[in-house]
Amino acid sequence: PVKPDTIAKSLAIGNPADGYFAIDAVRNTGGAMAAVTDDEIVDAIRLLARTEGIFAETAGGVTVATLSRLAASGVIRPDERVVIYITGHGLKTLEAVSPVVGPTATIRPNIEAFHDAFPALEESSK
């Protein structure tokens, strides 16, 4: 087994039980796979948050970073339709991205607390 060193802790398995099956599936379907860096993962998480309003955990960042890498290398063409799954919320792995996403706030679960924490948003919605 390999000891992975990555912020994507949920995927950091040195000897994954289904690793061979995953490789076979990629080969048998004409698919593709790629390795990505932690910086690419963080960039992908930020891209999803900025463009889609989705705060993904690090494993979700891996899928977007991999898609980006495969598209940039021409493995995935611009005319192809691609589906990726983002299932984990970024609050599960906040420590991995907190240095680059800025300060966070804990507020009461009501609209008044939200508006108190983000008054500029309340003004812009009027």
67-100 pLDDT tens trace? 999 999 999 999 999 999 998 899 888 888 888 7
Q: Using the 8-state DSSP alphabet, how is residue 9 labeled?
A: G
Q: What pTM did the predictor assign?
A: 0.77
Rounded to whole angstroms, what are the CA distances from 12 to 25, 66, 111? 20, 16, 38
List domains and CATH numbers for the chain.
9-124 (3.40.50.1100)
Residue 9 exposed, middle or buried by CB count within 10 Å (0-12, 13-18, 19+): middle
CA angle 71-77-79, nearest 5°? Answer: 130
Select from 61, 66, 56 the least CA-distant residue to 41.
61
Question: Of 61-65, 73-77, 117-121, which gets the smallest average pLDDT?
Answer: 117-121
Is the per-residue pLDDT at 60 higher than 70?
yes
DSSP H or E stretch at residue 67: helix 58-72
Q: How far apart are the C-alpha atoms of 122 and 125, rounded to whole Å?
A: 5
E-strand spans in the chain? none
Q: How confident is the model at residue 35 (pLDDT cuts 50, 70, 90)?
A: very high
**What pLDDT sits at residue 72?**
97
- Give me the chain's average pLDDT, please: 88
